[in-house]
Amino acid sequence: MNAIKRNIPNIITLANLTCGLFAILFAFEGSLVLSASFIFYGAFLDFFDGLAARLLNVSGELGKQLDSMADMVTFGVAPGSILYYLIEKFNETEIGYLKFLAFLIPIFSAIRLAKFNIDIRQTSSFIGLPTPALAIFIAAVPLINFDLFPMFIDLRFLIAIAVIMPLLLVAEIPLFSLKISQGENLTSKLNILRITLILAAVVLLFVFQFAAIPFIVILYLILSILNNIL
């Protein structure tokens, strides 16, 4: 029973990894909606593996490294595959090599995850954009109604994602976590910003559906910078 208990978080992590593999497979087949869906499933599982480890008090170095490897697949290679396909599909007449800029997503995700594992500053907050946030940003694009929001398949937008988002992964920008630390003042300025982000996200999702997700990620960056200033 102890062995089963110890490995529950790792099983959840491996389920996240499996979602990433399916996301890559469907991206190769051009089924971007399915690919994006599996990235969202993986993000859901990624939240719960850490939660399970804390609740069961079984966190360890193996789980930490395994989590990073799973995240590399689900939140690095999979969104890079989606972006590659989007640039290639919707801009066939443009310069062909631009699609390879999508490779920056997994490359910088690897750097981000490796830095996270050795950076003691990131125990209760983040330095640089977390890989799940970038992956959700990109995974939302195939789910958007392009008739209403054609700007999301514009080549300039896709290239901007391919270049700017990877740089945000390794940028030395402190970003707050949505998790409230034990003993933290619930009425602090940071918690007000957290509540602002959550309420704004709910409203934006209700009005714009999947098109809201990129703006929610941008709002998260803006509020984090505002928190740093305050």
Each domain of the chain, given as residue ranges in start order, spans 2-175
What confidence score (pLDDT) does residue 123 get?
67
What 3-state class would DSSP assign to 175? Answer: strand
> What percent helix, strand, coil does the chain show, rounded to 5?
80, 5, 20
Name the amino acid, one letter, at 24: I
Over range 160-186, report the average pLDDT.
Answer: 83
User: Is the pLDDT score of 94 beyond 70?
Assistant: no
CA separation, residue 101 to residues 80, 87, 98, 108, 109 (Å)? 9, 9, 6, 12, 14
Least confident of 35-39, 61-65, 166-170, 181-185: 181-185
* pTM across the whole model: 0.89
Question: Domain 2-175, what fold?
Answer: Four Helix Bundle (Hemerythrin (Met), subunit A) (1.20.120)
